[in-house]
Amino acid sequence: MTVAPPAAPPTFARRHAALLLGGDGRITGVDVARGLAVLGMFTAHVGYTTDAVTGAANWLAVSHGRSSILFALVAGVSLALVSGGRTPLDGLPALQARTRILVRAVLLLALVGLLDLLGTRVLLILGFYAAYFVLALPFLRWSPGRLAVAAGAVALAGPVLAYYGPEVLARAGLRLPEDGSGALTDFLVSGHYPAVVWMAYVLAGMAIGRLDLTSTAVRVALVGGGLLAMAIAYGVSAAVVEPLGGTRAVEDAAAAWSSTLRPEPLAWEDPWPTSVYLWLAGPHTDTLPEVVGSGGFAVALLGLCLFAGRVGRWVLAPLAAVGAMALSVYSAQIVALWAWGEEAYEQTTNAPLLVLVVVTLAAATAWRWAFGRGPLERLVASVARRSADAGVRARP
C-alpha cells in the first residue's frame, strides 16, 4: 500500500496572500461594502462637502446619512451569515451563535463607552449597533420573506414613532433621556439612530444575507430593486415637499411646535409638529422616504459590491481590508480625530480627508496581509467564542 506524502506547507507568499484575501469563508463584496461605509463615515465626519450637485468634491455629500445606513444594512447581512447564511443554524450551534452575538453586543457597549470619553464631535453609532444586535436575536431563524415583511413594517411604523414619540413623552410630563439612565429610550426612540427606524435596515440586511449571494440573479435584483426604490422615494418626497417651500421650510415648521426644542413642554391642546416632515428624505430625517430611498441606495451599492468583489478580489483588497477590520478602523478614526482636535471638523479642503483615507487603506492592507484579522476583531471574536464554548461546557 502506497502512502501519499504529506502536503507541503504553503509558502510564505501564499500564506500571506490567503490572509489578505480573508480565506474561502469570506464574501469579498460584503467586506468591500462595509469598507465603503467606513470610509463614507470618514467623509461625513471630516470631509468638506456641500449640498450642491456640481463639482466632484460636492458629490461627497452623498456620504451623509447613507454611509451609516449602508453600515447598518451590512451589519444585518453579517448577522445572517454568522447564524447560518441560507440555512439558519439550529440546536446547539444556534445557541452558540446567539451567545457570540450577545457577547459582541456587550463588548461594543464597553468599547463605545471608552471612545465616548474622548469627547469628539462624532455621534458614535457603536452603542446603537449593540442594541440592534440584541433586538435581532429573535429574528435569526426567520426566512428572507418574513424578514423583508418585518423590515417593511418597521419602515412604515418606525418613523412615526421616532418623530412623535419624544413629543408625546414630553407633553405627558415625562423626562427625555439626558444620561445613561435613559439609554433604553435613547437607543429605541429618541437617539440619533433610533432602533424603531434603523432596525428596518438591519432586518433588510438579514433578509439579503439569507439569499444566495453568489447568484447573479440575486445581485441584479439588489441593484435594480435598490435603484427603483431610491428613485420612487426621492421623487415622491420632492413632489410633496418642494411645493411647500422645500426642506428648510418644512423643518422650520416642524421645529415651531416641538417640545424637545423648548425649555418647557407644550400642552396637549397646542398644535403638534407638522406631519409633512415625515415626507422629507434628507440625511438623518428618519422618515419613510429616507428609509426607502437611502436604504435602496445602500441595497443597490451592496449589489454592485458583490459583482465587483467576484471579479476584483485583488484590486479591491485594500477596500475589503478596511471592511474586514471595520471595528478597528472606526475606533482608530475616533482616536485620530481626538488627537487632531477641533480643526478636524473645520476643513475647507478635502486634502486631509484624502490623506486619512490613503493612510487607512494602506495600514489596513498591511495589517491584514501580515496578521489577518484586525486587533479589535480578534479580541472580540476570542472573547465571544470562549463565552459560547463555556456555555456549552456548562450544559449537562
What tens digit of pLDDT does each residue of 85-115 get?
Answer: 999 999 999 999 999 999 999 999 999 999 9
Q: Assess if residue 11 is contained within a domain.
A: no
What's the domain range around 87? 60-313
Contacts with 310 (C-beta within 8 Å, 6 or more apart), sequence order: 28, 29, 214
Q: Assess if residue 7 is contained within a domain.
A: no
Fill in the amino acid letter for 88.
Answer: P
Q: Assess if residue 185 is contained within a domain.
A: yes
Q: How far is CA 362 from each of CA 47, 76, 321, 339, rounded to the nearest angstrom?
A: 19, 27, 9, 20
pLDDT tens, residue by residue, 246-259: 999 999 999 999 99
| Cell numbers standing for residue 49 | 462637502
* 270 Rama sector, left if φ>0, alpha if ψ -120 to 50, beta otherwise: beta
Contacts with 112 (C-beta within 8 Å, 6 or more apart), sequence order: 124, 126, 127, 130
Q: H/E/C letters for each residue in 250-274? A: HHHHHHHCCHHHCCCCCCCCCCCCC
Q: Assess if residue 19 is contained within a domain.
A: no
- CA 34, CA 209: separation in Å to the nearest integer? 14
Q: Assess if residue 25 is contained within a domain.
A: no
Cα pseudo-dihedral 309, 310, 316, 319, rounded to 10: 20
At residue 171, the pLDDT reads 93
Q: Is the CB of residue 82 less than 8 Å from the CB of residue 100?
A: yes
Q: Assess if residue 236 is contained within a domain.
A: yes
Residue 346 φ/ψ, nearest 5 degrees: -120, 35
pLDDT tens, residue by residue, 375-394: 999 999 999 999 988 766 65
Q: How many domains does the chain have?
A: 1
What pLDDT tens digit does each residue of the chain (396 aa) get? 555 555 556 787 888 888 888 877 789 999 999 999 999 999 988 888 765 555 555 677 888 889 999 999 999 999 999 999 999 999 999 999 999 999 999 999 999 999 999 999 999 999 999 999 999 999 999 999 999 999 999 999 999 999 999 999 999 998 877 767 788 899 999 889 999 999 999 999 999 999 999 999 999 999 999 999 999 999 999 999 999 999 999 999 999 999 988 888 999 999 999 999 999 999 999 999 999 999 999 999 999 999 998 788 899 999 999 999 999 999 999 999 999 988 888 888 888 889 999 999 999 999 999 999 999 999 999 999 999 887 666 555
Half-sphere exposure of 228 (CA within 13 A, CB side): 6
Q: Assess if residue 370 is contained within a domain.
A: no
pTM over 0.85: yes
Q: How far is CA 366 from each of CA 322, 337, 374, rounded to the nearest angstrom?
A: 11, 22, 11
Cα pseudo-dihedral 362, 364, 368, 374, rounded to 10: 160
Q: Assess if residue 49 is contained within a domain.
A: no
